[in-house]
Structures are given as C-alpha cells and as structure tokens.
Chains A and B, each alone.
Chain A
Amino acid sequence: MGLRRRPVTRCGAVLLLTCATTVACAADWELDLDLRLLTSDGQKSALDGGPGALRFGEADSGLQPGRLRFAFTQALGELWAVHVDASSWGDHEKNPIDLTEAFLQYRPYPFDGLRARVKAGAFYAPISLENRAAGWESPYTLSASAINSWVAEELRTVGVEGQLEWLGTRLGHDFDLSLTGAVFGWNDPAGTIMAEHGFMLDDRQSTLFGRVGPPGATSQAPQLFHEIDGRPGVYAGVEARYYDRIVVRALRYDNRADPSAVDATLQEFAWLTRFNSAGVRYEGASGWTAISQWLDGETYIQPGATRLGWPFDAKFLLLSRRFGAHTLSARYDRFQVRFESNGANDSTPQDGHAWTVAYAFTPSARWRFTLEWVSVASASSTRQSYGLPPGMLTERKLELAVRCALGPALE
C-alpha cells in the first residue's frame, strides 16, 4: 500500500485485552482460531504493500493464519452492556493483537412499541447485509464483497450512534422500522486506500490502533482512525424489515472532512468522503438467501487550488442456499473508481468485477469449514507504480478455512 501510519503504542490494545481477559471471567466471551490453506495466483496483496486485490497473493500460497479473535460482551447493570472485539491477523500488523470494535451500549426497555438504543465507542456503521456473523464475519463467503471489504478497511464509527426502532411486528403489523443517526470523529483519512488502491475483496478488517503494510514500513502506512480537522462527521440511515424475511437499508455518510486540511506531523490529508449506500436481503423458508448492495460516493482532497476527486461505485449480488449444515453461495461484484481533477473526469484508476463461490459446512457452533474460490478481474493504474501493466488482469484464489470457536457465547 505504501502509505503512512503513525506508530502508536501498543499499550492501549494490550491494556484493553488484559481488562477484557479479567472481565471475561464473568462475561459472555468467545475465542476463535481460524487457519487457512490456499493457493493463489494473485499479485502481492495491497495489504502487504503490493497492488493485489486479494488478501493473499501468489507468494502466500500454503498455510496461513486467518484470524485469532477474542470477544466479550458484559452486561453492566440493567440496560448497559460493553462489547470488545480483539483480533490478531498474523500479518505485518504493528500490534500483535488489536481491536476491531469496542463500544458501550445503552438499550432501555421498549415503550409503546418504540425502542431506543445508543452506542458509544468504535463500531461498524449499519451498511453490510452480509457481515452478520460474530466478529463482523460473513456466514456465506470468506472474502467480503468489494463494498464491505472497503467498509472493513477504511470505515469505523468512532463516536456516538443513536437508533430508534418501531417494533411493528410486536404490535401485530407486518413491518419493523428503524432510524439511525451518528456523530463521529477520527475518520478523516477514510478514502486514502480507495484513492490509492481502489476496491479489494478480502476479510482483513483494519484495527483501531493498527497499521498494515510491508514489513518495516511502519511510517509508510496510513493511520486510518485519526482526527485531522476537528470537524465531526455524520451519517443517517433507515432500515425496514418485513418479519425476518426481507431487510432493506439505506444510509447517507459524510465525514465532513476539510479537504484542504493537512496533518503536518503525519503528512496526511483529511479526505472528504461522502457516499450513499443501500441494500436488500431476502431470506426464504426454503433456505434461499439473496443479498444485493449498492454504494456510490466520492472522496477528495484539495491541495492548493486543485480539487482532486475519486468518485467510486460498487454493487454486488449474492445468492446462497442452505441445506442443513451446508451452505452454498455465489456472488458477483462490480466496482469502479474514477479520477477527477477540478471536477473533470481524467481517468478510471480501477475498473473490475469479481466472482466468488463458496461452500461452508458448519457441523456445530464450534466448527466451521469453508472452501472458497475467488476470481477478481480488474484494470488498475495502481500497478504502474509497481512497474506492472495497468490493463485487465485476473487474480484467483482457492482457499480452505478451518475455524474453531470456544466460549459460552456460542451456547
């Protein structure tokens, strides 16, 4: 990726993990170990400082650590709960273990069919309809869609989110409705990876204090969750549910960054990132699931008088069928990043599509086996900086994952 990340003391993460371990004695906790066996013909991954669109490139073929995760949820009195999710990804992460989410939640009793919920801390915005399993994983595939891979890489709400839910189905109606709004900070660099590299398809979630990049490139990777201009960002979303069969979501995100602001120490711009996101998920009694999401937005900076913008859009359709403990899924992704200088469309730094097919076998809550094949075809001007041709290139990966989970949270 070749971008900067400020070295951050690992004390925070280690301290939090220590607290987590102590509190976990009385909490709902879960420990997951995920190992991978794979073969890939992809280029060196962007996560390792290359131009590749997959998590594992050709040189990574063989046995790889997938994720070591520890999470706990602790009720604090009657209506409060704290959730901490820590992971080790086994790559060049600066902190051996770091947080992907950590938040405090307040959830009072419903009143007259309305229920409020407030979250404060660091967590995901309600965008993904496929990352619905514990640890923000997908029960359908190993690699998330291009949209949700980007969400995992660059977005985290570090702030406060409020939700008001109308429990229509509990009142005899066919629908539940909810409105969500958030105010957040520390997400000014969101857009850096989009502009530098474009979309990827992977399951590597950025951590709150971490850094990803080639070994020894600590100062060359972006610090993603960082406040630069002191202006809070906002998002607002709506969700409608038809029982547990259909979910429809829409969200407007604006990090309200000042595109001319620069952090002199980090030599990093504040990236003004705005997008609209929408999605629908259908689940049928016969075991079929269909998910489609759409994302359209732009990120830009303004060094001096020139406004440099990267409009982006992506969509996917996933179909999945469950047969008892077996799940077969297929997904098609389409994604594009353009480049504009002062509003004029100059070029298309990335244009691609991807096919993903996965088979998951979940004999129990403890074990999960997933076999996934991904093929990403993209034209990418990023490859030129590595001395490679930018034209259409197909990267493929066949990956077997074995995950073992422990803890009372599985019961």
Chain B
Amino acid sequence: MRPSARQEPEKTRAGRITTLLGAMLCLVRTVGISAATVSVTVQGTDGHPVPGAVITVYSLLGEGHPSAPVHAVMDQVNRAFAPDLLVIPVGSSVEFPNSDSVSHQIYSFSPAKRFQLPLYRGKPYPPERFEQAGVVTLGCNIHDEMLAYLVVTDAPFFGRTDVAGTWTTEIPRGKYRVAVWHPRMRDDSTELDRELTVGEGDRASLTLRLAKPLRPAPLGERPHSWDAY
C-alpha cells in the first residue's frame, strides 16, 4: 500500500487506533506471513506504459483487510485541483481548501457521493467523509476546465502507476484480484480484472494491457496527472 503523499492519518483517537492496528497487521503480513514484491504494469493498446492508472488489489482468500481511513487534502491552486486524483480508503475524509485568489465551487453528482461546497475561498468547510466505494468526479461550477477524481476503495492494497506504467508494492503470499481504473479508460474495468497468485518466490508481476484506446487527453496547457500517456 502506498498512500498518496498528501494523505495523512486521521488525528482522532479511533483513527490512531485503527492506524496502529493496520500497522500491526502490516507487520504481521510482512514478517509473520512473509510478503512478496508485486509489480503491476499497465500498457495501452500499443504497448506503451500508462502512467497514473489506479491499481486496487483485493484478497480472494481473506488475507488483508480494508485499509484504515485517512485524512486527505485536495487543494485548489491556479484554477486546478492539487492533487487532481486521490485514492482513499472507504471512511476517509478529505479537506478541500482553496488557495486561489478567485472563488471556487465544488460539486459532485457521482452516485458514490453527491455533494456541493458553495462558492468559497480559503478553508471555510469541514472535511467531507466518503463512506461508499466508487469513483467520485469533482468539478467547479464556475471553472469548467477544473476536474478531479477521488477513488474511494475498500481494497486492502492500492496505488497508482508511475511514469513507467508500473506500481510496485509488498503483498503477503495469497490469491488476489487485481483491478485497474484510469480516468481516460474506455475498457469496462471489470473486464480487465485479473487473478494473481503470490506464491513461493520473492517477486510476482502482472501486465495489464488495455483493449481499447484511452479517451483523448484535454488540449489545455496544463495536463492532468493522468494525461501523460
């Protein structure tokens, strides 16, 4: 599991306990059960790496538990969300400050979480909590070019692919389902699900190749974190 750099564990007592339990579980996983290094690579239809894809890994044999909720921050800087994509465990909360000199509004009409933050600057609103797994698409009703995603997941392991299209993590031996999602992906994400057995040996790897070309990247001068392909 590799949480985003902007995510911080919740400072509540319950959060601290959950985080502690999570850490202990991790320790058990890595030391007691012994873990292997797993790398997942995502490729486009032409074989080129796809950076910025979200990888979620679900246990099929009961190893691992949903990750502990975190407290994350998604800022608004220069009329763009920063970061523009967060992967957070179910139950996490996200704060949406606005560091711009202009006001923004945030809205989501995604089934996983519908909400609005009326016109604001600074940090006037408490964090929003995300209790349901799914993709939440965020926009600003004034600046249409502003776009961000929150991927709320109940997977025990998750992360995003790097510039080489690869995400690497430590996972206990076992049997898993690996899923991929990308904001510009046309493939039905369930069709790309793969089983992965992490057995004896120190390393396991999986390459997922998209069956359909990605949707076109926006033409704006400031690409999103998922536009590098």
Question: Among the interface residues B101, B103, B137, B219, which one has the most CB atoms of the partner chain A within 10 A?
Answer: B219
Given A75-B119, A109-B105, A113-B109, are A243 and B216 also a contact pair (CB < 8 Å)?
Answer: yes
Task: Using A75-B103, A75-B119 as known contacts, say yes or no to A110 and B219 having CB atoms under 8 A apart.
Answer: no
B218 is contacted by which of A79, A243, A411 (Cβ under 8 Å)?
A243
- Give min CB distance, B161 to chain A, whole Å: 20
Q: Does A231 contact B (CB under 8 A)?
A: no
Interface size on B, residues (CB 8 A): 20
Instruction: Please name the residue on chain B nearest to A114 by beta carbon.
Output: B109
Give the chain A neighbours of B116 by CB distance below 8 A.
Answer: 109
User: How close is B48's CB to chain A, nearest CB, in angstroms?
Assistant: 15
Question: Given that A78-B118, A111-B109 are known contacts, is A170 also in contact with B137, CB under 8 Å in the complex?
Answer: yes
Do A112 and B219 touch across chains, with their CB atoms under 8 A apart? Answer: no
State whether A112 touches B109 (Cβ < 8 A).
yes
Tell me the interface secondary structure of chain B in the complex.
Answer: loop
Q: Is A244's beta carbon under 8 Å from chain B?
A: yes
Q: How far is the CB of B222 from chain A (nearest CB, A)?
A: 13
| A75-B103, A110-B139, A110-B141 given; A285·B217 CB < 8 A | yes
- Answer yes or no: B107 CB below 8 A from chain A CBs: yes
**A254 CB-CB contact with B under 8 Å:** no
Give the contacts of B184-229 with A (CB-CB under 8 A): 215-220
Q: A390-411 vs B: 1/0 string, CB under 8 Å?
A: 0000000000000000001001
How far is it, in angstroms, between the C-alpha of A109 and the C-alpha of B103 when the chains are bound? 15
Report Cα–Cα, A334/B45, bound state, in Å. 43
Interface residues of A in 336-370 (CB under 8 A from B): none
In this complex, what residue of A is CB-closest to B103? A75
Convert A171-191 into 0s and 1s, putting 1 for each residue whose CB lies closer than 8 angstroms to a CB of B: 000100000000000000000
Does A283 make an interface contact (CB < 8 A)? yes
Contact A107–B141 (Cβ < 8 Å): yes
Question: Is A10 among interface residues, defined by CB-CB distance under 8 A?
Answer: no
Contact B218 A244 (CB under 8 A): yes
B interface with A by C-beta (< 8 Å): 101-103, 105, 107, 109, 116, 118-119, 137, 139, 141-142, 147, 215-220
